[in-house]
Amino acid sequence: MKFSQIKYERPDYESFGKQMNEFAEKLREAKTFEEAYAIHQEATKLYNHLASMLTVCHIRHDIDTTDEFYEKEQDFNDENAPTIEEQHLNYSKAFYESKFRKEFEEKVGPVAYKNLELAIDYFTPEMIPLMQEENALVTKYEKLIAQAKIDWEGETLNLSLMTKYTTDPDRETRKKAFAKTTGFFMDNRAELDEIYDKLVKCRTAQAKTLGYDTYLELGYARMNRNDYGPNEVKAFREEVKAKLVPLATKLHEERRKRIGVDHLYYYDTISFKNGNPTPKGDPDEILAQGKKMYEELSPETGEFFNFMLDNERFDVLGRKTKRAGGYMTSIPDDDNTPFVFANFNKTVGDVDVITHECGHAFQGYITRKDCNEYRDITMETAEIHSMSMEFFTEKWMDKFFGDRAEDYKKYHLEDAVCFIPYGCMVDEFQHIVYENPDMTPEERRKAWVELEKVYRPHMDYGDNECYLTGGLWQRQSHIYSMPFYYIDYCLAQMVSLQYKAWMEEDFAAAWNSYLEFCKQGARDFYSRSLPKVGLSVPFEKGCLDKTVSAIEKKLNF
Ligand SMILES: [Zn+2]
C-alpha cells in the first residue's frame, strides 16, 4: 500500500489494555493448543494494529514537524503508550507460562521464549521510579549535546554541522574545528561528568532491586543478550586486540603516506589529500541509481527496491520542517513492509541510506510474512544485514561516486577495520565503569586513557587537552543512552568483513549465504545461526585470522 493511503486513527488505549487482559485470561484457560494459538494470533493482530498506528503517526510527525494534527497525536501517544505496559506484560506472562509452551516453541522458536524470560526476570515494579530518573538523565545529556552552540567564522553551528569542518581537506581548518568542538566538551565537562555519574549509580540501583551488585547482568538482559555473556564478549575483544589493532595501525601508516604528511594527528580525519569522496547527483538521481543497482544485484533486491519506490517508502529529501537524522522502520498492519526516513545532504551518508538502511529494510521486506517472534532480531544480527549490504553493493559505487568509486571502497574498508578497535574500547570502558560503580569521574577518564593505549596505540592527540585527559568518550552518545550497545556494531562489522573476504573469492556463494542469513531472522540463536550459513562466530578463537589475512591481501600489505 502507498504510504499516503495508510489510514491513521487514534489508538484506544483503554480498550487495548482491557482486551490484552482478556486475551491473557483466555490464553490461561485455553483447553487445546489450537485454541491457544488462535488467541495468540488475535492478540498479535491487536498489538500489530496499535504498533502500526504509533509508527505511522511517528513517521508523519517526523516528515513535517509543523503539522499540527500529527504533533497533537504524537503528544497524545507519548503520554498514553506507557499506560498499557502492565497489561501487555500480563499477556506476555500468560504466553510465557502457557501449558502449551512446547507446541508454541515449535511455531515461534526458542529465541522468543528466552527473550520473554529476560523481560520478565529482569524487571520489578520497584525499578519504575529509577527508570524514569534514567530516562530524564539521558534526555538531559541529549539536550546538552543537541543545543551545543559553536562559534564558527561568524556562524553559530551545532556539533553535527561542525563535522563538515572537522573533515575538511585543509589541515588547519580541521585542527581549528576540533579545538572548537572539544572546547565545548571541556566547558561542559563538569555537567557531563555529573550526568554520567548519576546514570551509573541509577542503573546500579536498579540492578540492586534484583539482587545484583552491579548493572552488568541487567545491562546485558536489556540488550536482549539471549545467547552470550561478558566472557564471550571479552574473548572477542582479546582477538581484536591481538589481530585487528596491528592491522589498524598499518592502515594508519598507509593513510599517512597517502595524504602526504610527516605524522598523523587526531585531526587528520581524511583518507585522501583531496578529501573523502562525496556522491554526485541529487536525491532523485541517487534513488534512480539505487533502483538500477538493486535490480542488477538479485531478483529479490530488485523486487524490494521497486516496492519501496512504488509505495512511497522513501522520504529522504532534506527539508526545513523535517526532523533530523535517519532510520528504517516497518508497518506491521501493511504486511510488515518497510519505510526509510532520511535527510540527504550531499555527503557519503546519502549513499549509506541506499546501502546500509536498505540492508535493514531488505531483510525486513523478505521476512515480512514471518511471525512477530521470528522478526524480533537482536542488534548484533540486524547490523549484519545492513553492514554486509554496504559491501555487497560496492561493485556499483561508480554510479554514486563516479571516478572516485575506488577511493570510496578504500575508505569504506579502512573505516570498517578501524571502527572495530574503537568500538571494543567503548565496550571495555563500560565494563570497567559498571563493574566499579564508585569510580570518580577522574578515575573513569584515566581508565579511558589506558584503553586508548591498548586499542589505538597509533593515535596522537597532540596538545588537545580534552582528548589527552581522556574526555573523548563523552561525545559517544551510546555510552550515556544505551549501555553495552556498542559491541553489537563491532560483532556485526566483523561478520560483514567475513562476507567481504568471501565475496572477493566467490560473490555468488557469499550472496546466497547472506540471503539465507537474512531469511533466518530470529528463528534460532545468534551463535547457531551464523554457522548454518557458513559464517564463523566472532567469539571463537582464531575466528578473525582468515578474515584479517584476506583483508590484508586485498589491501596489498
Ligand atoms: Zn544500522
pLDDT tens, residue by residue, 471-529: 999 999 999 999 999 999 999 999 999 999 999 999 999 999 999 999 999 999 999 99
Mean pLDDT of 297-303: 98
**CA 123 – ligand 1 centroid, Å:** 27
Whole-model pTM? Answer: 0.94
**CA 327 – ligand 1 centroid, Å:** 8
Q: Quick one: pLDDT at residue 394?
A: 97
**CA 352 – ligand 1 centroid, Å:** 10
Q: What is the pLDDT of residues 342-397, one digit of tens each?
A: 988 888 889 999 999 999 999 999 999 999 999 999 999 999 999 999 999 999 99
**CA 360 – ligand 1 centroid, Å:** 7
Q: Quick one: pLDDT at residue 462?
A: 97
- On the 0-12 / 13-18 / 19+ scale of CB atoms within 10 A, 15 is exposed
The residue whose grid cell reads 487495548 is 16
Q: Quick one: pLDDT at residue 346?
A: 84
**CA 297 – ligand 1 centroid, Å:** 20
Alpha-carbon separation of residue 247 from 233, 415, 428, 458, 459 (angstroms): 20, 12, 20, 11, 14
Beta strands (DSSP E) in 429-541 are none
**CA 495 – ligand 1 centroid, Å:** 14
Average pLDDT of the residues of the chain: 95
Rounded distance, CA 493 to CA 480, Å? Answer: 22
**CA 82 – ligand 1 centroid, Å:** 26
Q: What is the pLDDT of residues 177-192, one digit of tens each?
A: 999 999 999 999 999 9
46: confidence class by pLDDT, cuts 50, 70, 90: very high
Rounded distance, CA 397 to CA 393, Å? Answer: 7
CA 128 to chain centre: 25
**CA 384 – ligand 1 centroid, Å:** 8
Q: What is the pLDDT of residues 55-79, one digit of tens each?
A: 999 999 999 989 999 999 999 998 8
Residue with the larger pLDDT of the pair 153 and 543: 153
**CA 353 – ligand 1 centroid, Å:** 10
For residue 557, pLDDT beyond 70: no
For residue 418, pLDDT beyond 70: yes
445: confidence class by pLDDT, cuts 50, 70, 90: very high
**CA 17 – ligand 1 centroid, Å:** 32
CA atoms within 13 A on the CB side of 79: 8
**CA 232 – ligand 1 centroid, Å:** 22
Q: Which of 91, 75, 67 is nearest to 16 (CA)?
A: 91
Long-range residue pairs from 88-91, CB within 8 A, at least 24 positions apart, any chain: 88/20, 88/47, 89/119, 89/120, 89/123, 90/20, 90/21, 90/24, 91/20, 91/21, 91/23, 91/24, 91/27, 91/43
Residue 270 near residue 276 (C-beta atoms within 8 A): yes
**CA 550 – ligand 1 centroid, Å:** 25
**CA 55 – ligand 1 centroid, Å:** 18
Q: What is the DSSP code string of 91-147? A: HHHHHHT-TTHHHHHHHH-HHHHHHHHHHHHT--GGGHHHHHHHHHHHHHHHHHHHT
Rounded distance, CA 406 to CA 397, Å? Answer: 8
**Helix (H) or strand (E) segment spanning residue 329:** strand 327-331
**CA 386 – ligand 1 centroid, Å:** 6
Residue 227 near residue 531 (C-beta atoms within 8 A): no
